[in-house]
Structure 1
Amino acid sequence: MILIKMEPSRKKPKKGDVFVIQPVKDIYFFGVVIKTNIVNPEDGFINGWNLIFIYNCPSKSIEIPNDLMKNELLNPPDIVNNQGWLKGYFKTIGNISINEDDIIKDYGFQFLEKELYFTEEGKRLKRRPKICGSYGLGSYGSVSTETKKALENHPEILEGIGYEGDIILDRDIDLLEKDEIFTGENLIKVKKVLDTYSNNLKKLGDNPSQKDIMKCVEKVVKDFNKLDEEEDYFIETMEREELCDSIHKLAKLTGLEIDEDITEEWREW
């Protein structure tokens, strides 16, 4: 099952935004943006993105339910980029004030299949949390996979709202569009380039010069030039904007004082 595409939006998500996903026609589940611009100095791929919760609260309308955040989660918490909104699989319908008491406390993220657990900021947890997602950057594809699993394992969720269709749909052929950068083999390669960039910035120490920071920027842009060529030019317009944004955010955290595009001089993608 793949999420049904709705209305693409270039508006960046904000804390408290309520959005819907549509796994089957005319049935919606509600998500809340818990945090944006995550600060994770340990993982350059997660740094700067969003923490979302998606609730087990199906509806045939897109009106925000009362006490939405008091519902149980449909999926584990997710760290996601902006692709879900950019491509129309997440549709923002409003914004709510987040009561910290309503945020689930005992959650975290597991690193691969190892017994290693972290917060979204990269802090190591001493034990497995009650609710555990995957440590890494996801997108609408990972949300789609998790939603499919939840609805297949618990068919009563859709039955309870009167849905009589088949949960396993013909659309279950490819969870992601061909131009989605943050998936599969590409994910590993992109993450490796960004991690190297993050480590190079860390090696500069405290109070690095603007020149030294820009040398790191030049290197990561040229590394992406090479990767893009090797992968048959897979970096397209929206992915380019997100990569540029990630590169800039890390440079700013290191002390860069330039606000305009810092990649254009060397960028070929």
Structure 2
Amino acid sequence: MQKVIKAFDPNKKHIRAGDVFIYKTSTGCEYYGLVVKHKFDLGGFKNCLLLYFFDTTTEDAKIDDLSVKQHTLLFPPTLGGSECWRDGYFSTVGKLEFNDENIYPVHYFKFPQGIRDENLKSIEEPDPNIPIGYAAYPVGLTLLDDIEDCLN
């Protein structure tokens, strides 16, 4: 059973869109993540990060090769905060310039009223190639639980 471990020095630097980060598991694997947006607002959730967690290790790909067209995500894009960086679970390792290949052109979220895009516009028929995230903010370090659930 893989667990996400504290493997890095705590970091209080500002996290920005395009930051590529890694997290390490108890098996020694380091997986990639990507900050797609910072200071992102979604409904009642303010100043969040919009994050991708790739099912791709640092042995499988280089930073510049990360792409939603080539690599799968562990789960749909999700909201998050800087707690995992501050506590030493995540470490920023590089920067990615966005293009049509490496991020989704739009992000969808499931609300009680239905599916909406990142601008809260109601979507009747979302693109089936774009995963639908949840309009929820993982409290504290529960994001680590989500990662571990998908890895195991």
Q: TM-score range by the shorter chain?
A: 0.7 to 0.9
2:37 aligned partner? 35
CA-to-aligned-CA distance 1:200-245 (integer Å, 9 cap, x gap): xxxxxxxxxxxxxxxxxxxxxxxxxxxxxxxxxxxxxxxxxxxxxx
Higher helix share: 1
* 1:125 matched to 2:126: no
Structure 1 Cα separation of the partners of residues 140 and 28 of structure 2? 18
2:73 counterpart letter in structure 1: L
Hey, what's the Cα distance between the residues in 1 that align with 2:109 and 2:46? 15
Q: 1:104 to 1:47 in 2, by over 3 A?
A: same
Q: How many residues align?
A: 146
Change (3 A) 1:139 1:89: farther
Task: Compute the displacement of 1:146 (Å).
Answer: 2.4
In 2 relative to 1, CA 10–121 (structure 1 residues): closer, same or farther, beyond 3 Å?
Answer: farther
Secondary structure of residue in 1 paired with 2:85? helix
CA 1:123–1:2 in structure 2 vs 1: closer, same or farther (change >3 Å)? farther
Percent identity among equivalent residues?
22
- Is residue 107–residue 118 contact of structure 2 (8 Å, CA) maintained in 1? no
- Greater RCO (Cα-Cα under 8 Å, separation 6 or more): 2
Aligned mates of 2:76, 2:98 — CA distance in 1: 18
Q: Is the 8 A contact 1:23 1:144 kept in 2?
A: no
Aligned to 2:50: 51
Query: Would you say the 8 A contact 1:51–1:77 is kept in 2?
Result: yes
CA distance in 2, matches of 1:119, 1:13: 23
Runs of 5+ unmatched residues, structure 2: none
Alpha carbons 2:39, 2:49 under 8 Å: kept? yes
Alignment correspondent of 2:4: 3
Moved over 4 A (4+): none
1:107 shift after superposition? 4.1
Task: Evaluate the alpha carbon distance shift between residue 122 and residue 115 of structure 1 in structure 2; reply closer, same or farther with a 3 A threshold.
Answer: closer
Report the alpha carbon displacement of residue 139 of structure 1 after superposing the two structures with TM: 5.5
Which aligned pairs between 1:97-136 and structure 2 lie closer than 5 A? 97-105=97-105, 107-111=107-111, 114=112, 116-127=114-125, 130=128, 131-136=131-136
Task: Describe the superposition over 1:168-225 as per-residue Cα deviations: whole angstroms up to 9, x where unpaired.
Answer: xxxxxxxxxxxxxxxxxxxxxxxxxxxxxxxxxxxxxxxxxxxxxxxxxxxxxxxxxx
Q: 1:127 to 1:144 in 2, by over 3 A?
A: farther
Residues 48-93 of structure 1: CA distance to partner in whole angstroms, max 9, x if unpaired? 11111111112359x8444112312122111111111111111101
Of 27-36 and 116-125, more deviation after overlay is shown by 116-125
**Maintained 8 Å contact 2:33/2:53:** yes
- Amino acid paired to 1:73: L
- Contact kept, 8 Å, 2:83 with 2:141, in 1: the verdict is no
Kindly indicate whether the alpha-carbon contact (under 8 Å) linking 1:18 and 1:30 is maintained by their aligned counterparts in 2. yes
CA–CA distance in 2 between the matches of 1:56 and 1:117?
Answer: 25
2:17 matched residue in structure 1: 15
CA–CA distance in 2 between the matches of 1:137 and 1:4? 21
Partners of 2:23 and 2:9 in 1: how far apart? 11
User: Structure 2 vs 1, CA of residues 135 and 71 (structure 1 numbering), >3 Å: closer, same or farther?
Assistant: same
Give the secondary structure class of the aligned counterpart of 1:133: strand
2:65 to 56, 64, 67: 67
